């Protein structure tokens, strides 16, 4: 299957600082990537859809100025959590699908465990 | 947008027994329904998926059934083993409104006991 690589896998940062998470499709091009957040013992909640060469589409309730998404190439999307606070501590996972069809398999990155202290 | 409900939230079975997890979805235009297994701290892993042009799909001990009329789909695991213990998520692709987004169910913690 296709490979999606996410980095870093774990990060601890101080309140008020920013953290950047990278998501790469290693063996395929992804015009669209998806960013999810997962709190402990909860489901994956879609935060935003990242579109190569254009602005990301954010889900309702997700602050676009706090969660900055950049999709500058067909193999890289980044999520920057700005002015992080303890409530932003969570598991962030990116995903990409091979092909544009709605019934194509999604591949997930390893996830990033963010802890804000 | 799409809404996916999943039951039960927890499920304990004896090794060798079967486990069934059920999901319902709201978007009648949805046509792709994957199931994922997630171990603690790891990424979701696709275990089986089904598209709307079939009603059932089987892969060894795992099977999925889909009822488009009722808008529900189920995961069946037979001959459960301790290594099947994990959280399982159903999902559906919502198409209404041009979303094309994967929406997850709330998850089922499966525990297979010896």
Task: Quote the mean pLDDT of chain B.
Answer: 94
Q: Which of B27, B43, B94 to mutate to test the interface with A (most CBs of A within 10 A)?
A: B43
Return the percentage of chain B with pLDDT > 90, whole number: 84
User: Considering only CB atoms, which chain B residues are within 8 Å of A45?
Assistant: 104
User: Considering only CB atoms, which chain A residues are within 8 Å of B23?
Assistant: none
The first and second tokens of residue B94, run together, are 């919502």
pLDDT at B98 over 70: no
- Please tell me the predicted confidence (pLDDT) of residue B97: 62
Greater pLDDT, A83 or A1: A83
The first and second tokens of residue A93, run together, are 């996972």
User: Considering only CB atoms, which chain A residues are within 8 Å of B9?
Assistant: none
pLDDT digits (tens, 9 = 90+) for A23-43: 999 999 988 999 999 999 999
Question: CB-based burial of residue B62 (10 Å sphere; 0-12 exposed, 13-18 middle, 19+ buried)?
Answer: middle
Question: CB-based burial of residue B101 (10 Å sphere; 0-12 exposed, 13-18 middle, 19+ buried)?
Answer: buried
Return the percentage of chain A with pLDDT > 90, whole number: 79
Contact flag B34-A108 (C-beta cutoff 8 Å): no
pLDDT at B95 over 90: no
- Please tell me the predicted confidence (pLDDT) of residue A84: 97
- Please tell me the predicted confidence (pLDDT) of residue A105: 86
The first and second tokens of residue A67, run together, are 């969660």
CA gap B6, B21 in Å, rounded:
7
The shortest CB-CB distance from A105 to any of B31, B49, B105 is to: B49
Write out the H or E segment, with its range, that includes residue B86.
strand B86-94
Tell me the shortest Cα–Cα distance from A59 to chain B, in angstroms: 11
pLDDT band at B53 (very low <50, low <70, confident <90, very high): confident
Nearest chain A alpha carbon to B10: A41
pLDDT at B82 over 80: yes
Q: What is the mean pLDDT of residues B5-18?
A: 98
pLDDT at A90 over 70: yes
- Please tell me the predicted confidence (pLDDT) of residue A104: 82
CA gap B51, B64 in Å, rounded:
10
Burial of A57-87, coded b for 16+ CB within 10 Å and e otherwise, reads bbbeebeeeebbbebeeebbbbbebeebeee
Question: Is A115 within 8 Å of A107 (Cβ atoms)?
Answer: no
Q: At a CB cut-off of 8 Å and minimum separation 6, what does B102 contact?
A: A34, A46, A95, A106, B34, B91, B92, B93
| Residue contacts between A and B (CB atoms, under 8 Å) | 46
DSSP three-state, residue A2 = coil
């Amino acid at each position: 299957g296709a490979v999606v690589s996410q980095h870093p896998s774990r990060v601890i940062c101080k309140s008020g600082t920013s953290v950047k998470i990278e998501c790469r499709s290693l063996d395929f091009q992804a015009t669209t990537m998806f960013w999810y957040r997962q709190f402990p013992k909860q489901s994956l909640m879609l935060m935003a859809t990242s579109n190569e060469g254009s602005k990301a589409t954010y889900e309702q309730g997700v602050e676009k100025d706090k969660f900055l998404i950049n999709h500058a190439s067909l193999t890289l999307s980044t999520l920057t959590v700005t002015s992080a606070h303890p409530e932003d501590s969570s598991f962030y996972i990116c995903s990409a699908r091979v092909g544009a069809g709605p019934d194509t398999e999604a591949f997930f990155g390893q996830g990033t465990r963010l802890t804000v202290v | 947008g799409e809404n996916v409900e999943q039951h039960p939230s927890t499920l304990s079975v004896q090794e060798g027994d079967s486990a069934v997890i059920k999901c319902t979805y709201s978007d009648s235009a949805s046509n792709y329904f994957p199931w994922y297994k997630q171990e603690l701290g790891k990424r979701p892993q696709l275990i089986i998926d089904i598209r709307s042009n079939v009603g059932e799909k089987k892969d060894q001990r795992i099977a999925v059934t889909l009822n488009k009329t009722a808008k529900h789909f189920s995961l069946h695991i037979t001959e459960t083993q301790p290594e099947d213990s994990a959280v399982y998520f159903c999902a559906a692709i919502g198409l209404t409104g041009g979303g094309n987004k994967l929406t997850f169910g709330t998850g089922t913690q499966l525990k297979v006991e010896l």
